[in-house]
Every structure is written in structure tokens, then in C-alpha cells.
Structure 1
Amino acid sequence: MLKMFISGSIANNTIPDEVIKSVDVSMDKNYVILVGDAKGVDKNIQDLLKINNYSNVNIYHIGNKPRNLADKNWKQFKVIIDESNPKLFKDGKFTRSAQMIKDKRMVSEADFGLVIWQDVSTNRFGNVQVSKGSLNNIYNLLKMGKPVGLYFVPKPDEGIIKLTDLTYFENGVISNMVNVKTKQYYYEMKSEYEKVETQKKHDKKSQGEQLKFF
């Protein structure tokens, strides 16, 4: 049974009609729908599924219980976080990095994704901030070869953009549609991911060379 990971920006408080239609199709096909427990898109998608009495839903969270849960009968999956690590748990709260670990778990278990993304928003101090979580989800899904349906909120006329690889995403969306701050963050994020991958390959090679001595 196919699994679809639905995610989106916390700043978005409504679900576009195009996305509702896509979710309706997914319910008709009886996909397993993976959703987080945040406010914004996560909560609104949960409410939409609940209104339709849809039961094939998996909710992922990192606290003792989901922050938002529209139906207690849905399957719940707690992603274990190292609370002794200040990068993941600080001042009695889980950090953004901890939430990203939860999202990566959903990425790994999904077959494809649907992302409702507004790349930037303005905080209460009037500063522009990038919606990093959704961008990371898009990157990680495509990096694993999993297709993404992207509803880019600032460009509603585009409908749901079908993405199958990073090159198309970078050329079609990152280069032409997003805020300059989003573009800067994306390539910094990508560079960090590539450094980690390079280090992993180096470590694996070193371990292989060490084994030759035995």
C-alpha cells in the first residue's frame, strides 16, 4: 500500500482547493497518509482527513503525545529524540533540528510527498524568515528518488508542480520562483548535506581499508 507524506509551512492556515482535490484522490486510492503534529498545514490536513472520516492515517510526533491529533484512533508513531543533546532539546523544548529528525523519518517511510510550501514569511519583528522544514522535506524526498507534488503558495496558478528530481526543482523553482533568502539557504543546506555524505563515504572507505589487514 502506497504511503504519502503530506507536509507544509506552519505559517499556512488554509488548505488550497488544488490540494484538497489531491487529498480526495489519495483517499479514493486508499493511500496511507503520513502527517506530523504541528500547527498550520499538519493540523489542517488532519482536520480535513477527520471530516472525511478517513482512517488510513499515521501521525508522527516526538513529544510524549502529539501536539495536535484530530482522531485518537489513528496510528501514532513516536520518534525517539536524544533529550541530552542541547541541539535537539533545550530549555524544556524540542528544537527545530529535533523536528527535522521526525520529518526525515516520515521521508524515509513514504513513497512520495505532497508539500504545501510558502517559502518565506514575516515574523512578529518584521523580519523575513525562510520556511526551512518544508524545503528540507522536498530536498530529502527528491534526493531519495521519491517524487513530490509541490503546491507553491506564492504561485497558485502553477497548481501542483510535479517534481521528480533535484535538477528540475532547482531550475524550475529555486532559480525562478523563490525569495533570495530562500535561494541562499537552499544552497547552503545542500552544501552541508553534501559534506556529510562525502564524510560518510570517506569513513566507509577507511573502514574497508582497515578490514583488509585482518
Structure 2
Amino acid sequence: MAMILIGGSCNIVDLPDALAGRIASIVAAEHGVLIGDAPGADTEVQALLVGHGYEHVGVFCAGDEPRNNLGDWAIYTVPPPQGAHGFAIQADKDREMVRRADYGLMIWNGTSPGTVLNVLRLALAEKPCVTYDVANGLVTTIRKVADWRTMLSRADPEIWDLLATRMTPDERLATTLA
């Protein structure tokens, strides 16, 4: 069973129509799903999985209890580092999901640094990621950092400043070598 990390931007509440078919294919193939507990895309995908009555799902959270677990699935808690604030609270959880995944499926609004950083992490781990870029109406498969940079070329240039504050030194270095 392949493990698929599914995630996306918190402000996406209307999923692309094609995504329902992609989720149905994942369910039909009985792949495992790793998903976060955030509002927005995570919760909307959880709702689709509940609609299928799907059980092979693990919900990852940084707190003691997930913010959202619509299917009452297994919970995997990844505590944040001591003193973490803001985005850093979720970063270790995201890295753990990438570590466990074989593939990614991301729904990106064109501005969310957290989602696009997870796409980068998957590329660095040589794990393909299908990315729904809802801002540009594109579906692409990111396999390497060069693909990731191409995807970002369509985004607002200010995203680089946001990413710089969230990347580890190794992630930052990898983006300059591609």
C-alpha cells in the first residue's frame, strides 16, 4: 500500500472538481492517506474521504488533539519544538508526514508558503507530488527541485521572502542548487 500525503492551503474551501476523481482513485486503490488537521483543504479532503467511508487515513497534528478529524481516524501527534511559535508549530509535523509518504497530492492557492514548502520537501526526498495550483488552474507533477522552481515562477515573487523565513538551511541551499 502506497502512502500518499494530501494537504493544501488553509483558505481553500472549494476543491477543484478533478480532485474528487483523484481522491476516488486513491480510495479504489486502497492507498494509505496521511493528512493534517488544518481547516481549509485538509478538512475538505477529510470530508471527501468520509463520504467514501474510507478507513486507511492517519491524521497528523501538533497539539494534543487534532483540530479536525472528521473520520475519527488514527491520530499521530508530532509535538512542536519547545518555544515554537507561528508556522514553526506545524513544521515538524509536516516534515514527519513527508518522511512517511511515498507520494504527495497538494492543493495550492498560489500564495501559501506552508503548502509549497511541503511540495519542496517531497521533491528533495525524490517523492513525486501532484500539485493542483488553483490560482493558475494548473495540475502539475513535481519530481525535482527544478520542477518546484518552475511552479513558483508563476507565483507572486513575495513568496520567496515568506519561504526564506520558514526553510531550514538545507532546504534553502537545495533551492539555490537546482
Q: Equivalent residue for 1:154?
A: 135
1:57 aligns with 2:53: no
Query: What is the identity, as a one-letter code, of the residue corresponding to 1:76?
Result: I
Query: What is the identity, as a one-letter code, of the residue corresponding to 2:146?
Result: T
Q: Secondary structure at the match of 1:167?
A: helix
CA contact (8 A) 2:34 2:57 kept: yes
- Superposition pairs of residues 11-160 of structure 1, within 5 angstroms: 11-72=11-72, 74-82=73-81, 85-86=82-83, 88=84, 95-120=86-111, 131-156=112-137, 158=138, 160=139
Q: Secondary structure at the match of 2:155?
A: coil
CA distance in 2, matches of 1:137, 1:7: 9
CA distance in 2, matches of 1:194, 1:17: 32
Q: Equivalent residue for 1:178?
A: 155
- Aligned-residue Cα RMSD (Å) equals 2.0
CA contact (8 A) 2:37 2:68 kept: yes
Query: What is the identity, as a one-letter code, of the residue corresponding to 2:144?
Result: D
Q: Equivalent residue for 2:144?
A: 165
CA distance in 2, matches of 1:75, 1:191: 29
1:55 is displaced (CA, Å) by 0.7
TM-score, with normalisation over the residues of structure 1?
0.75
Q: Secondary structure at the match of 1:180?
A: coil
Q: Where does structure 1 differ by over 6 angstroms across 4 or more consecutive aligned residues?
A: none
1:39 is displaced (CA, Å) by 0.3
Q: Equivalent residue for 1:2?
A: 2
Query: What is the identity, as a one-letter code, of the residue corresponding to 2:57?
Result: V
Closer, same or farther: CA 194–75 of 1 in aligned 2, 3 Å: closer
Closer, same or farther: CA 167–61 of 1 in aligned 2, 3 Å: same
Q: Secondary structure at the match of 1:35?
A: strand
Q: Equivalent residue for 1:200?
A: none
Per-residue displacement from partner, 1:32-60 (whole Å, max 9, x unpaired)?
Answer: 01110010011111111001101110111
Matched residues, number = 174
CA distance in 2, matches of 1:165, 1:81: 28
CA contact (8 A) 2:8 2:108 kept: yes
CA distance in 1, matches of 2:108, 2:148: 13
Query: What is the identity, as a one-letter code, of the residue corresponding to 1:62?
Result: A
Q: Secondary structure at the match of 2:104?
A: strand
CA distance in 1, matches of 2:94, 2:165: 19
Percent identity, aligned pairs only, is 25
Q: Which of the pair has more CA radius of gyration?
A: 1
Query: What is the identity, as a one-letter code, of the residue corresponding to 1:161?
Result: T
Q: Secondary structure at the match of 2:141?
A: strand
TM-score, with normalisation over the residues of structure 2?
0.89
Closer, same or farther: CA 147–181 of 1 in aligned 2, 3 Å: same
